[in-house]
Every structure is written in structure tokens, then in C-alpha cells.
Amino acid sequence: MINVAAILKIRSALFAKAACSWRYRSFASVSLALLAGFVLFHFVTWKCFTEDLLTDTYEGGDLSRLGYLPGSKHYRNTSVDLPRRHLKMKDYLGQPVDMLTIGDSFSIGGGRGRNPYYQDYIATFSNISVMNVTPYPTDDLVMGCSPLSTLAVLDNSGYLDIIKPRYVLIESLETLVPARFGRPFAWGWTDSLADVIRHYEGVTGDWPGLPKHSFINSGNLDFYWRNLMYFFSDSAFGHSVHQFKLNRSLFNVRKDDDLLVFQYDLRITPFMTVEKVSEINETVNEIAEVLARKGIRLVFMPVVSKFNLYGEYIIDNPYPKNMFFEKLRPLPKKYLFIDTKEILQEELRKGEKDIFFADDSHWSWKASRAIFEKVRFR
């Protein structure tokens, strides 16, 4: 007799095995589809947007990269076409040097692009020799730089007496001036002459490249989220890059009336008090006195922040105005003061575009040219 129960049991087992096999194939198919979608999402986003922003494949600035804002990307290639160039410390072989420059990223060509070193405009327009000193690794660096302590090391080690410049130009981004100079004067930093020379022989002073990324990275998700949040908040709710709308076109990029600035440019304004600016001026005056005893003229060049320079063109600007330059101008000075805000404001009011790069916290060659066409050294 046919055992119906056994047949049903076998059929049930076969169906169960088939169902299990189907579920496995379905799971595998869904998993492969999700993986393919995941890879495709990252690849398309990378090739269309984030590779451009996050790598050195196309040179650009820090603000569009950190804010994931492609419309302000300012494409450029680094090149130099001026007849005179500045020296780096590793190139010093005892030749005459008229001016030493000490500063932050503005002094090492941080903006890149055409003629990124303002020192080359000084050398060309004033027909003098210029050498840039990168920051010495002292214990008081602010954002990687402390011009005061670097100059003190050069002086106390005896290296400044070997170079014997006629001028020392100290440059600092305006927003970092309070942290770097708003303190009681001190001149105690030093090192041996041999160590100072050895240090500068090994420093290229070149602008570092960006870190490497694979096409699958968290920035691809951040790109969409950040661009959505900028519709509702000028900082995308607390991110480091603020985006503002200008009342006129001031950049040669797709979003030519957008202004990108660092959050720090806004946060520093309350600290630019009359008392703090006076303290800064007194510190710089004391540096000037130390140098004057060696027959050296001090030049102080605070670089106006992008937010401060373009602030008057922001539509419905909700943030207080930075008055650092206005407070510093009338104070008694024992140094030569380069008022970068006044000079560059004149250029903006003449209709000049791209004084700063749209996508960067650094100025362009147009700023360097405008300043050192006006300020000459003999």
C-alpha cells in the first residue's frame, strides 16, 4: 500500500528545502542589489561632486571643501610669472637680505593659484630681496604660528645678527592677532644657533597637500546633508563654514554673490575691544623697539578677515561688525602699519572681483598686487 503519510512528509521536506533555497537566493539578491546601490551612490556622488571638493585633483580652497559647497569652487593652477622671487630659509647662503617676513598661511602661499606669495610682489615692486621665515616650533603656537616667538628665537640665537635684514615684516590673519599679540610682551624664546640653522635647512615651507580619500567615504553623505541644512541656517546649524548672500557679484564663480567665511571670523568680534587692541599695539611697539636697536624697521601687516572685508555687502547681516582696524588706526605706532582693510576696501569699491578667492579663507594675487603697488620699501 502507498504510505500517504510518508509521501506527505517527503513533499513537506522538499517544499521546506525549496523555500529555504528561495529565501537564501532572495537574501543574496537583495544583499547584492543593496551593495551595488551603495557602491553606485558613492561612485556617482564622488565623481560628480566630492572628488572635486575633497582632493587636490582640482586646486581649490578650504571653505568649499569643509562646507561641501561646489557652487563657490574657484578653479586655479599655481604659477609664478613675476620677475623677482622671494627666498626660503633653506636657500640662505649668506647673501644680502633686505626683508624677512614671518607669518601664517598667507606667508607660505596658502591661497595658491597665480603668484600666491605676497613676498614676490614686494620683491618685484620695491626691487628688494625678501626671505620668508616659517614658524619655529615653540610652545606658544596659535594655529601653527607665533611670529613673536619665532622672531625671538632668531634674535636670541644670533641668527638675526647673521642675516642683518633692514626690515622685518610680521603678518597675521586679523582674527588670530589677539591670541598671538594680545598679551604682555615677552622675548624669552631661544635655541642654539646650530639647532636653528639645522631646523631651517630641513624645512621646505611648501603648502601641504590634502589627505587621501577613497571614493567610498562619509563625505558623500555629508555633501547632501550639509547642502540641505544651508537652506535653513547660514552655518548649516553649527558647522565651521558660514554662507551669506551678497548684494552684488564679487566673485567669478557660478555662485558669484555667495560669501563663504570661517566661523572663527564671527566669534572673534566680541574680543576686539579697545583695551585688547591697545594691548596688541603696545606689544607690537615693544617688538619694534627691540628691532630698532639693531637698526631694523618693523612692518606689521594684519590681514583683514574675509568676513570683515566683505561684511558691508552681506544682505541683512545678523552679526556685529568687526572694528579691529578702526580701533588700531589712531593709536601711536613705532612700526610701519599696513592697513590691508583700507587698501582692499578701495579695490572692492572700484568693482574689483576675486580679491579673496570665493572658496577660500585666503586672498588672491589681486590683493597682494593692490597692497604692494601702494606700499613700497626702499
Q: What is the DSSP letter of 278?
A: H
Of 51-55, 104-108, 232-236, 275-279, the one with minimum mean pLDDT is 51-55
Lowest mean pLDDT among 205-219, 244-258, 336-350: 205-219
Name the band, by pLDDT with cuts 50, 70 and 90, for residue 47: confident
Of 152, 149, 146, the C-alpha closest to 172 is 146
* pLDDT of 60: 83
> What is the rounded CA–CA span in Å between residue 262 and residue 321?
15
Whether residue 14 has pLDDT greater than 60? no
Proportion of the chain above pLDDT 90, given as a percent: 75
> What gap in Å lies between CA 338 and CA 352, rounded to an integer?
20
288-313: pLDDT as tens digits: 999 999 999 999 999 999 999 999 99
The DSSP result for 15-38, as a single string, is HHHHHHHHHHHHHHHHHHHHHHHH
List own/partner pairs for 312-316 with CB under 8 A and 24 or more apart: 313/246, 313/247, 313/248, 313/250, 313/259, 313/348, 314/244, 314/245, 314/246, 314/247, 314/259, 315/244, 315/245, 315/246, 315/247
Q: What is the mean pLDDT of the chain?
A: 91
Q: What is the pLDDT of residue 54?
A: 84
pLDDT value of position 22: 62
- In the chain, the amino acid numbered 293 is R
pLDDT score at 131: 98
pLDDT tens-place string over residues 120-131: 999 999 999 999
Q: Compute and round to an integer the Cα radius of gyration of the chain.
A: 28
Q: Rounded to an integer, what distance in angstroms lies between the CA atom of residue 199 and that of residue 295?
A: 26
Question: Distance between CA 348 and CA 343 in Å, rounded?
Answer: 9
Better pLDDT: 15 or 193: 193
Look at the pTM and tell me if it is higher than 0.85.
yes
Of the candidates 254, 263, 290, 276, the one whose C-alpha atom is nearest the C-alpha of residue 324 is 276
Query: Distance (Å, rounded) from C-alpha 47 to C-alpha 158?
Result: 53
Single out the residue of 192, 199, 131 nearest to residue 165, CA to CA. 131
Helix then strand then coil, in percent of the chain rounded to 5, is: 50, 10, 40
Taking 80 as the threshold, does the pLDDT of residue 221 lie above it?
A: yes
Q: Identify the band that residue 29 occupies on the pLDDT scale cut at 50, 70 and 90.
A: confident
CATH class, range 87-210+264-374: alpha beta
